[in-house]
Structures are given as C-alpha cells and as structure tokens.
Homo-oligomer: A and B are copies of this chain.
Amino acid sequence: MTTRIGIYLFPNAEELDWAGPWEVLAHWAKEWPDDDVEVLTFADEEGPVTCAKGLRVLPDRTRSNVGELDVLVFPGGIGTRAQLGDESIKQWLSDLASGGTLMTSVCTGALVFADAGLLTARPATTYWAQLDLLKDLDSSVEVRPDDRFVDSGEVITAAGVSAGIDMALHLVKRLHSEDRARAVRKGIQYDPAPPI
C-alpha cells in the first residue's frame, strides 16, 4: 500500500514552509523506493503558483485530481490570511480529517486548521508572531509557544517556516522508523549550525 503525501500549494504560500518538508519527504520517497511513499504537490488549479517571496512553482496535481491522501502538508505564509473564513477550505479540510488523512501544518498553516475546527481542545503551535491569532481563532487550543512541532495524534502543527524540516523528519520517524529518519537527515546533511 503506497503512502501518499500531498503538499498543498497556494498563492503566497511561504517558500521554505513547503520546500523543507518536500526535500525531507521526497528524499525519503526517492532513496528508499521499497518504502512505497509517494510525495506530490497540488494546488487549486493547474499552472504556476506564485509564492510569498515571488518564486513560481508548478504543482503536480490539482485539489480535484490529487486522489486519496494519507498525509496532508499545509504550509503557511501570508496567503493563509485569505483562506480564513473560506467555507470551501474549511469543508475540504474537515472532510480530509474525518476521512483519516493525517493533517500536518507548517507555520501559519495552523491558523487555517484552527479556523476549520481541527485544533479544538488540542495542543498546537504556529509561527511565533501569530500565536495570539491562533488563540483568537479557537480559544480552546492549548497553544505551545516553545515547541518546534506538536504531534497531537490526528493533527501535527509545526512552528514557523524552517520548523517544517524538523516536523517532516518526525513524520518519517512516525510513519517508518527512527533509523529511516536518521538516514534522511544524513542524506540532506541536516546538521544545522546557524552562524549568528
């Protein structure tokens, strides 16, 4: 059974929010084909998606033809603000969660999850500058400002931008093993050393 992971792209999604998890998960899928993992990007429609910093990327699929997903990765970025209150997004996310898709967010993707009711009475995190907005959207969320990511079972939320890399390594560990996650980490030489 193939494990299908979909990374949602939308206008003004923050680039590293999706590119970090993409690298981790696509590295896993490509280097260990026997693990039978498929990672793909998708968007509302075909054609280029312009991200928050201006990068243009072509999605593999659309929301209507992406097929069943075992895991959704929902990035953040300024583009998430336009999604708040959008009934079609809320319904889509709610349906995915009810259907058993593991829901994961990076950065302000968590705001959209909260708006859709996915974080009710759950621990969760988001980008450091939007922790208050997360609480405003759903006061029952147990906000965790100091966690790099929060795995609450059916939903995983990561902190801002680069935290998606750490969250995706956790996903490899959860869906496969600590050994595999460690091998992927080595594959992308993820021994971070911020120079400042």
Q: How many copies does the complex hold?
A: 2
| Closest beta carbon of chain B to A169's beta carbon, Å | 6
Q: Does A73 contact B (CB under 8 A)?
A: no
| Closest beta carbon of chain B to A7's beta carbon, Å | 10
A48-59 toward B: CB 8 Å interface, digit per residue (1/0)? 100001111110
Interface-located stretch among A88-96, A132-140, A183-191:
A183-191
List chain B residues, Cβ under 8 A from A16: 19-20, 22-23, 188
What is the CA–CA distance of A58 and B23 in the complex, to the nearest angstrom? 18
Given contacts A57-B58, A58-B56, contact A185 B189 (CB under 8 A): no
Residues of A contacting B: mostly? mixed
Given contacts A27-B53, A53-B22, A55-B22, contact A196 B185 (CB under 8 A): yes
Contact of A166 among B60, B149, B170, B193 (CB under 8 A): B193
| Closest beta carbon of chain B to A15's beta carbon, Å | 5
What is the CA–CA distance of A165 and B196 in the complex, to the nearest angstrom? 12
Q: Does A33 contact B (CB under 8 A)?
A: no
Q: Does A62 contact B (CB under 8 A)?
A: no
A147-169 toward B: CB 8 Å interface, digit per residue (1/0)? 01100000000011111011001
What is the CA–CA distance of A167 and B41 in the complex, to the nearest angstrom? 27
What is the CA–CA distance of A58 and B169 in the complex, to the nearest angstrom? 27
Contact A191 B148 (CB under 8 A): yes
| Residues of chain A from 98 to 127 with CB closer than 8 A to chain B in the complex | 107, 127
List chain B residues, Cβ under 8 A from A107: 189
8 closest A-B pairs (Cβ-Cβ)? Answer: A160-B189, A19-B19, A26-B53, A192-B192, A16-B23, A56-B58, A161-B188, A148-B193
